[in-house]
Structure 1
Amino acid sequence: MSDRPSVPHRCLSRRTLAKAAALGVAGALAGTPRASAADVTVTQLGPRTYDLGIPSAALGRTSPVRIILPTSYAARPDRTWPVLHLLHGAHDDYNSWTRETDIEEFTANRDLIVAMPDGGPTGIPTRWKTGPDYETFQLQEVTAVLRATCRASTVQAVAGVSTGGYGAMAHAARHPGMFVAAASYSGIPATTVTNMPTIVQAIVGREGLNPLSLWGAPTLDSATWQDFDPLARVSALRGTALYVSVGTGSLTGGLGTILALAQVISGGIGALLPGVLESLVAPSTQSFVTALGQLAIPATQHLYQGGGHQWSDWQREFTASWPVLGGALGLPV
């Protein structure tokens, strides 16, 4: 594929990037590590789909973001566009949404930019205790480049699957007002309840990383774990349009759950069947929904029977969540 976009899109032309760099807009957000927009690499994958390589001070490397432009982008050089950020899960990558769903077709006649940033091998887009800062990368560096080069507006929504579902709720709760809507599909929006610390650490360990490099030890570093737990900041989500879903999976409790947790602890989380893994993470969403209800924070929720930790379920849930996401973005639903 060519590393230069076709002229009609203009969004990512070298002239645009150079002008953005000269104006310093890539560092326009307060506290954003400055990176020259002219250093962003561009690969065109299709009529509307591009991969960007963004030099990231927060990550210490150039990191990818896949974007999908509106169909009418070239015909409307006078306007800006709302952005939907889609986050991937663990053991996956930034191209998973275009690989596993119909997101390109779904958005073909909808006036928005879709951004799918890298979240690392765990898909946990946070500030690691000893490691990269995916929170800054996704919320500041990516956003700054989109506004500098693609006419992205300040209207944003965020959605994610699995650990990306954690990211969606964490981003919205830790940065109130940044997103008009947030959606979690089989996510982990409560990271400190029941067995969630064990599961989160197992996800990190599965990727060959030290579990303590995330937020430290759940007990000794409990304040840090709480700081990054969306459940602890749930009140900050008032006013954000929310969609939260998860299935019950295939376990019914009892010995099956105990054996599954034992497998997680022994490092076998990657071998769990989708229905089993869904059962293990379901309590996180259930606790989160309960907390929203206790505070009378409106949320569209779909807690369904069965299901699995898999894209076939998440594709359905994304489509079901569109009225929430699209409505908040000001788009027809």
Structure 2
Amino acid sequence: MPIRRLVTIFAAMAVTLPTLLAAAPASAGTATRAAVVAENRVDARTLDLTVSSPAIGQQANVRLLLPDGWDGRQHGRTWPVLLLLGGCCWSDGDGHESWVQKTDIENYPELRKVLVVTPIGGKAGYFSNWHKAGGPKWEDFHLDEVLPLVEKNYGGGTKRAIAGLSMGGFGALSYAGRRPGMFSAAASYSGTVHTQLFMLGPASVQAVLIGQGLDPAALWGDPVKDAKVWAAHNPHELTDKLKNIPVYLSAGNGEPGPLDAPGAGFDVKEKAIEGMSQLVATKLLLSGGKVQTSFYGKGTHAWPYYGRELRNSLPMLLGALGV
């Protein structure tokens, strides 16, 4: 082929190739970054974000409860972050709005000094990167996607505390233990904080997964064969990391209490959770941890207790943030 012809071909390729590459879809090995694709200002204190998440393979909602002065903030102004996790198996919405819907946290004056972040957690996501290949990566979504986005664009600071109810109580302690140094304090309100407690822990986790139509082995694998994977997420097995930060643990004893509806019966789940929480509290104390407990006696697995315990734990949580 004549040299002039080759020069013409290569010149054409130099013009067209960048355009073709830019238009081509990313390869399977190319990482796509999480991004906020929509915002909805619900009211003066509440901003909802829709995040496109590679970690969980879908768009997901995150609610921000805004601090005083947020709208008029200057560039570089930040607030400490309270990552507030919900429970499982909600019957309406998708969980990111549950704390605001079910409690009156927007009226807690203490929370006007921090940026509260309440993300979707999956109906039974268990705040984990699932063991089964191709499963959702909830830990990556919350800690490597949501928090950096909040810090980059919405005034979130690098001082953080974490708290949650039920499954979210598990998530709060699991995340704090798995990511040492990320959180200054952690709180669990009726949390399933010992997922390997005899047969009770694994059975309760797998029952939740089955109830949501999910593969019980997809989360952390088999409780026996993959015991190390279970332990790597289990707050009871993470106390060597948790002992370095203040931890708040609360639960009732399952008997109907002052905040329960009339006619409420005995709650076996809450009784089991009380036992789990007491074991974790004892292990933390024996290891020299800083633990505050609220084992308040009568009370079931219900929202009025979660809201009350959140407020009771705020002096510890916010104190750790320097607020």
TM-score, normalized by length of structure 1?
0.80
**Separation in 2, partners of 1:104, 1:82:** 16
Q: CA deviation at 1:227?
A: 1.2
Match of residue 40, structure 1, among 37, 41, 47: 37
On the 8 A contact 2:34/2:145 being kept in 1, the answer is no
Matched, 1:289 2:281: yes
Deviation per residue, 1:124-171 (Å, 9 max, x gap)? 111111220100001110011101111211011100000000000000
Query: 1:140, 1:273 → 2: CA distance?
Result: 41
Give the SS at the match of 1:83: strand
Distance in 2 of aligned mates of 1:201 and 1:34:
32
Residues 1:81 and 2:79 aligned together: yes
> For 1:300, which of 284, 289, 292 is the aligned residue?
292
Partner of 2:214, secondary structure, is: coil
Q: Which residue of 1 aligns with 2:136?
A: 132
* TM-align CA RMSD: 1.8
Give, as a single letter, the amino acid of the residue that structure 1 aligns with 2:104. D
CA contact (8 A) 1:243 1:321 kept: yes
Aligned residues: 278
Report if aligned partners of 1:123, 1:164 keep a CA contact under 8 Å in 2.
no
Contact 1:275 1:306 in 2 (8 A): no
CA distance in 1, matches of 2:191, 2:111: 28
- The answer to whether structure 1 residue 245 and structure 2 residue 264 are counterparts is no
Distance in 2 of aligned mates of 1:319 and 1:156:
17
Specify the alignment match of 2:103 in structure 1. Answer: 101
CA distance in 2: counterparts of 1:292 and 1:207, whole angstroms: 33
1:187 match: 191
Residue number in structure 2 paired with 1:141: 145
Does the CA contact (< 8 Å) of 1:101 and 1:311 recur in 2?
yes
Write the distance in 1 (CA, Å) between the matches of 2:51 and 2:186.
24
- AA aligned opposite 1:305: G
Structure 1's 282 and 149: CA in aligned 2 closer, same or farther, altered over 3 A?
A: same
- Partner of residue 301, structure 2: 309
One-letter amino acid matched to 2:86: H
User: Could you say which residue in structure 2 is the equivalent of 1:153?
Assistant: 157
Correspondence for 2:312: 320
- The alpha-carbon distance between structure 1 residues 108 and 250, as it changes in their structure 2 partners (threshold 3 A), is closer
Q: CA deviation at 1:108?
A: 7.3
Structure 1, unaligned runs of 5 or more: 1-32, 252-271
Contact 1:89 1:162 in 2 (8 A): yes
Give how far 1:193 is off.
1.2
Distance 1:177 1:58, change over 3 A: same
Aligned counterparts of 1:117 and 1:217: Cα–Cα separation in 2: 28
Matches of 2:62 and 2:68 in 1, distance apart? 19
2:120 to 118, 121, 127: 118
Q: Is residue 2:204 matched to residue 1:215?
A: no
Q: Please list every run of 5 or more consecutive structure 2 residues that lacks an aligned counterpart in the other structure.
A: 1-30, 257-263
Q: Is the 8 A contact 2:267 2:300 kept in 1?
A: yes
Closer, same or farther: CA 250–191 of 1 in aligned 2, 3 Å? same
Mapped contact 2:51–2:60 kept (Cα < 8 A): yes
SS at match of 2:223: coil
Deviations 1:84-130 (A, max 9, x none): 01100111211110101111121577221110011100251111112
SS at match of 2:157: strand
- Structure 1 residue 275: Cα displacement: 2.2
Q: Structure 1: how far apart are the matches of 2:288 and 2:116?
A: 31
CA distance in 1, matches of 2:241, 2:231: 14
The reply to whether residue 60 of structure 1 matches residue 72 of structure 2 is no
CA shift in 2, pair 1:146/1:297, >3 Å: same
Identity percentage of aligned residues: 37
Q: Return the alpha-carbon distance in structure 1 between the equivalents of residues 175 and 44 of structure 2.
A: 30
Any runs of at least 4 consecutive aligned residues in structure 1 with deviations exceeding 4 A, and if so which?
A: none
Q: Specify the code of the residue in structure 1 equivalent to 2:180.
A: P
1:70 is aligned to 67
Pair 1:80–1:276, CA change in 2 (3 A): same
Moved more, 197-206 or 69-78: 69-78
